[in-house]
Structure 1
Amino acid sequence: MFSVLMFVTGLALLVAGANWLINGAAQLANRWGVSPLVIGLTVVAFGTSAPEFAVSIEAAIAGQDSVGLGNVVGSNIFNVLFILGLTALIVPLVVGHQLIRRDVPVMIGASLLVWWLARDGRFSHADGALLFAGLLGYLGYVFYQSSRQDENLALPLELQAHAPAWRSAVSVLFGLAMLVLGSRWLLEAVVAFATYLGVSDLVIGLTLVAAGTSLPEVVASIAAAIKGQRDMAVGNVVGSNIFNLLGVLGLSSLLAPVGLTAPASLVAVDVPVMCLVALMCLPIFFTGARVDRFEGCLFLLGYVAYTTYLVFAALAHPLVWMGDAVFLFLLPVGLLIIAQVVQQLQDPD
């Protein structure tokens, strides 16, 4: 019960800390004249990824490599399949053309790069430096593009600069402190859960930790969709996934004493699923630049299939062979979506 209390309290601190960090940083950036587009793709995306960042860094320093890696990979799968799926069921989502042309390909490229780097079963300091350099390059390009464009986007009212600068700075520092404390308590609870349940740290990281640290993305995407900012709901997920792969995983690999060791099952199953999920986004977004309720339902079913496999594998259930359903379901869905794209290109009417 004490571990459950630590987990819930740590999770609450992570969510609250991310909210304080986002509000304070966005207000400071707005006050300094940073464009709303850049704030959305950087400050807000980083802020919603802050729980993943805090937990993975803490795990890397503590030598809990499986938790940190599972958190990143599991969060990216959760963000696309569960968050976009659930949000699209509430209201069909609109995808901005800039997101399709620039940010989704970056997310796909980063996913494939992580798969390629994981082929030897570890993420070295050099791998981490490469990933983090990719994040800096991406941010530099975003700022460059923003400076050349006339943007008429408006920030949500709560993120506009209406508080004194010192109060916004205090909000950032207080949010960071909550993230550090929350990640420490959450990690201790996760280790206790894994020991008590007799399952690996990786499974806990891919499920409980990944879903828990993705709560800010859940709240941000659903709230944006309900308020009519449906393109922001998708942009938040894509931007968060990019930060998770390039920033969180990159910096975790750099700060870990000897890099991160990737479990064989993560390299063989979970990272390929993450890449397949990222690849499925492009044709779905490309067809009409929207995610409708049918496609959202497919995403949710895919997450159910993936989670079912993880549970069966963790419990050594006789039906663990049903894990193949993850691929048997996702691959035909991907091929169906690609076929729809080809058909639309051949018959635009």
Structure 2
Amino acid sequence: MFLFLGAIVAGFAILVWSADKFVEGAASTAKHLGMPSLLIGILIVGFGTSAPEMVVSAIAAMEGNPGLALGNAIGSNIVNIALILGVTAIVAPITVNSKIVRKEIPLLLLIVLFSGYLLFDNTLTFVEGVVLLVGFFSLIAWSIYAAIKGKGDALESEMDDELLEHEMSLKAGVLWLIIGLVLLIASSRLLVWGAVGVATEFGVSDLIIGLTIVALGTSLPELAASVIAARKGEHDIAIGNVVGSNMFNILAVIGIAVVIAPMNNIPFEVLQRDWIIMLLLTIALLFMAYGFRNKEGKITRLEGFILVICYVAYNTYLGMTLTGNI
């Protein structure tokens, strides 16, 4: 038992560090190769912070633990909005200025709704996995188009400042990219092994482990990135991290896992409980970010507290179902 727990702790620690270095190296390399700052912000920072979820879920699927893969993706989306944006807004209220980020949030809602449609029959087939991946590549194409058309967007200036602060040579960028990727894969394998071991020891489904422990751990890079960005006043990076990550989790993370190992007999609770929570949080994010009724698009400290309470309540509910109190 202690060996499994140690593997989880060590896996998380290396995962968070390597994910950060991977994103920094990738962003620096892309900048040296001439990629626009806005595109780096949308693709590499927005999607790159979900690299842990992708690697963990892919490994889990390959090792015959599809529940862990699915739980990780959905659970991470719940963590991203409820906990990460909640904590970030408490630290520094988040104002949404970027037009691109404001366009991405309704798109995220559509992606969430589509994932619910796929989950409705409690299966995710190989073909559906391919469809999700096609959607992901379409999203990349749209992101490139948006970056080209979005010159002068608020996100661009924030990314310029961020890249300047973490400036490094091309050689260093490539080196950190490779080191980060290698350690990311190694730590993910360690984390999956530990998580499956704990689930087996306690008789808990790998789905629940994925929704809770693994989802929280793989989302730590987003938490660190968003809080730091918000404290610097880089609000659009803070919320862009979460929105980009959530789209990536559904389209790429679930897509890759399902292509590797199609999922049959998915527990109905995934749609009835976890997907519903993800949907409601996404709708809440839409309302907060758009600021309807002449309200500024902003996530206030009060709303941040409410989001964190929602996260605690959700995990408490999961815990009560495990103990048989519900």
Equivalent residue, structure 1, for 2:203: 198
Hey, what's the Cα distance between the residues in 1 that align with 2:53 and 2:20?
14
Equivalent residue, structure 2, for 1:231: 236
Is residue 305 from structure 1 mapped to residue 310 from structure 2 by the alignment? Answer: no
Q: Deviations over 1:215-266 (max 9, x none)?
A: 000100000011111221111111111111111111111122x446522221
Identify which of 304, 310, 323 aligns with 1:315: 323
Q: What is the percent sequence identity of the aligned residues?
A: 36
Name the CA shift for 1:239/1:260 in 2 (closer, same or farther; >3 Å).
Answer: farther
Hey, what's the Cα distance between the residues in 1 that align with 2:109 and 2:272?
18
Which structure exhibits the higher relative contact order, with contacts defined as CA atoms closer than 8 Å and separated by 6 or more residues? 2
- Three-state SS of the structure 1 residue aligned to 2:120 is helix
Amino acid at match of 1:276: L
Identify which of 265, 268, 273 aligns with 2:272: 268
Hey, what's the Cα distance between the residues in 2 that align with 1:133 and 1:251?
11
Amino acid at match of 1:253: V
- Any residues of structure 2 matched to 1:219-298 within 5 Å, and which? 219-256=224-261, 258-259=262-263, 262-287=266-291, 288-298=296-306
Is 2:25–2:174's contact at 8 Å kept on the other side of the alignment? yes
Larger of the two Rg values belongs to structure: 1
Structure 2 alignment gaps of length 5 or more: none
Q: Deviations over 1:70-121 (max 9, x none)?
A: 0000000010011111111111111124245410011111111111001111
Q: Using structure 2 for the length normalisation, give the TM-score.
A: 0.93
Is 2:73–2:215's contact at 8 Å kept on the other side of the alignment? yes
Amino acid at match of 2:269: S
Displacement of 1:271 = 1.0
Displacement of 1:155 = 2.8
Amino acid at match of 1:221: S
Identify which of 172, 176, 181 aligns with 1:176: 181
Displacement of 1:282 = 1.0
Name the CA shift for 1:245/1:164 in 2 (closer, same or farther; >3 Å).
Answer: same
Is residue 64 from structure 1 mapped to residue 54 from structure 2 by the alignment? Answer: no
- Three-state SS of the structure 2 residue aligned to 1:310 is helix
Displacement of 1:191 = 1.2
Hey, what's the Cα distance between the residues in 1 that align with 2:10 and 2:23?
20
Q: Using structure 1 for the length normalisation, give the TM-score.
A: 0.87
Is residue 92 from structure 1 mapped to residue 93 from structure 2 by the alignment? Answer: yes
Is 2:158–2:234's contact at 8 Å kept on the other side of the alignment? no
Hey, what's the Cα distance between the residues in 1 that align with 2:101 and 2:190?
38
Hey, what's the Cα distance between the residues in 2 that align with 1:30 and 1:264?
45
Hey, what's the Cα distance between the residues in 2 that align with 1:31 and 1:100?
25
Hey, what's the Cα distance between the residues in 2 that align with 1:157 and 1:22?
16
Equivalent residue, structure 2, for 1:45: 46
Hey, what's the Cα distance between the residues in 2 that align with 1:282 and 1:155?
23
Q: Deviations over 1:32-53 (max 9, x none)?
A: 2212221111101222111111
Is 2:159–2:237's contact at 8 Å kept on the other side of the alignment? no
Equivalent residue, structure 2, for 1:136: 137
Hey, what's the Cα distance between the residues in 2 that align with 1:200 and 1:255?
20
Structure 1 alignment gaps of length 5 or more: 321-349
Is 1:20–1:171's contact at 8 Å kept on the other side of the alignment? yes
Is 1:23–1:158's contact at 8 Å kept on the other side of the alignment? no
Hey, what's the Cα distance between the residues in 2 that align with 1:200 and 1:95?
38
Identify which of 216, 231, 244 aligns with 1:211: 216
Hey, what's the Cα distance between the residues in 2 that align with 1:260 and 1:167?
44
Amino acid at match of 1:130: V
- Three-state SS of the structure 1 residue aligned to 2:157 is coil
